[in-house]
C-alpha cells in the first residue's frame, strides 16, 4: 500500500502550502485534517484555501458539515478513510494536512469509539454550567490522571466526553485513546519554527483575516445559527464576543492572536509527543526538497522513527 503523507504541526507554519507542493510533485490529493475546515462557511477564520488557491489539486473533507452541527471524530474517521480508499483506487497519493491532532490520529491509528448516552452527557453538561469546567476536570484527574493531563481544564467538551466514557465503560478514558501504531501506513512530516517567528506569523495572519472580512463572515454565520463547536473556534468565539459589545475591535484582534498562540502551543505539545513525526524547519529554503526526500526514504523503507532522524523535533521555544 502506498504510504499516506501526513503534514502536521502548529497553525501558521505553512502546512497548506507544503501540501500543495507535495501534491504536485507526487501526484497527490489533499485530505483535510483540520476540524474547523470541515464546516461550510468557516473560511476566512480557518485560513481555508479558496478554490483558486487549491491550484487544481483535489481537496477532500472540506465543507462537509453545517455550522449548526457538532463535529464527530468517529464520523470524520469514516469519511476520511473512505476518501483514502478512493484516492488509492485512482492510483494517487493521499496527503493529509491539518493541525487537529485527534483527527490525524483517528485517520492514521487504531482508535476505538465508545458509545454515548444523551441523558448522561446532558447531566454532565449541566454540571459544567453549574460548577464550572475546572471542577469536573478535577474529578477527571482523580479518575484518570493520564486523560486529565492531556485535556485542558477549560476544554469542557472533552472533559464531559471523558467522564461519559469512564461511566459507560468502567475503564479509564485514556484506555480508548489511540496508541502510536499505524493502522493506515503513513509517514508524518511536522512543520515547526522559532517561537518568536511563529508569533509574528500568527499576528500577520490575524490581520489578514480581519482585512479579508472575518467580522462579516461571523455575522453571516451567526444569522444562520452557530452550533457549540463552531461558536467556540478560535477567531469566531472572539468576534462573537465583540458583536455582543464586550470587546473593541483592537481587543478582539489581540484576543484572537493570543488564542491562536495558545492553540499553536497545544498542537506542538500533541504532535511533539509522537515519536513518528519527522520535523522540518518551516523557514528552510529547501523545505519542499527535504520533504520529498523524507517521503522517498519512507517509501523505500529506509526511514526509522523520528528519534533516529538527523533533523529531530525542535521546540517552539528554540
Question: Could you tell me which residues are annotated as the binding site?
Answer: 9-16
For the record, the C-alpha cell of 241 comes out as 464576543
Residues in binding site for ATP: 9-16
Residue 50 backbone zone (phi > 0: left; psi -120 to 50: alpha; other: beta): beta
Which residues lie below 8 Å from residue 19, measured CB to CB, with a gap of 6+? 7, 28, 30, 95, 97
Residues in binding site for substrate: 11-16
Amino acid at each position: 500500500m502506498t504510504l499516506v503523507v501526513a503534514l502536521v504541526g502548529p497553525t501558521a507554519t505553512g502546512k497548506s502550502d507544503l501540501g500543495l507542493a507535495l501534491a504536485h510533485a507526487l501526484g497527490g490529493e489533499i485530505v483535510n485534517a483540520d476540524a474547523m475546515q470541515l464546516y461550510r462557511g468557516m473560511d476566512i477564520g480557518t485560513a481555508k484555501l479558496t478554490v483558486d488557491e487549491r491550484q487544481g489539486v483535489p481537496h477532500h473533507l472540506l465543507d462537509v458539515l453545517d455550522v449548526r452541527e457538532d463535529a464527530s471524530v468517529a464520523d470524520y474517521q469514516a469519511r476520511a478513510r473512505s476518501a483514502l480508499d478512493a484516492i488509492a483506487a485512482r492510483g494517487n497519493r493521499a496527503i493529509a494536512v491539518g493541525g487537529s491532532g485527534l483527527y490525524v490520529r483517528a485517520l492514521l491509528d487504531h482508535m476505538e469509539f465508545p458509545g454515548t448516552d444523551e441523558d448522561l452527557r446532558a447531566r454532565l453538561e449541566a454540571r459544567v454550567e453549574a460548577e464550572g469546567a475546572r471542577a469536573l476536570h478535577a474529578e477527571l484527574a482523580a479518575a484518570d490522571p493520564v486523560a486529565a493531563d492531556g485535556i485542558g481544564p477549560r476544554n469542557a467538551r472533552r472533559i464531559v466526553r471523558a467522564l461519559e466514557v469512564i461511566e459507560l465503560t468502567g475503564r479509564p478514558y485514556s484506555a480508548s485513546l489511540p496508541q502510536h501504531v499505524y493502522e493506515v501506513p503513513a509517514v508524518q512530516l511536522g512543520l515547526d519554527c522559532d517561537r518568536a517567528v511563529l508569533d509574528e506569523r500568527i499576528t500577520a495572519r490575524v490581520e489578514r483575516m480581519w482585512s479579508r472580512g472575518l467580522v462579516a463572515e461571523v455575522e453571516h454565520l451567526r444569522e444562520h445559527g452557530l452550533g457549540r463547536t463552531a461558536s467556540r473556534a478560535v477567531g469566531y468565539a472572539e468576534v462573537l464576543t465583540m458583536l455582543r459589545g464586550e470587546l473593541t475591535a483592537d481587543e478582539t484582534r489581540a484576543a484572537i492572536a493570543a488564542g491562536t498562540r495558545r492553540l499553536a502551543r497545544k498542537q506542538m505539545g500533541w504532535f511533539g509527543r509522537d515519536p513518528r513525526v519527522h520535523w522540518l524547519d518551516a523557514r528552510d529554503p529547501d523545505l519542499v526538497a527535504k520533504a520529498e526526500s523524507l517521503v522517498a526514504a519512507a517509501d523505500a523503507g529506509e526511514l526509522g522513527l523520528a528519534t533516529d532522524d538527523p533533523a529531530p523535533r525542535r521546540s517552539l521555544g528554540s
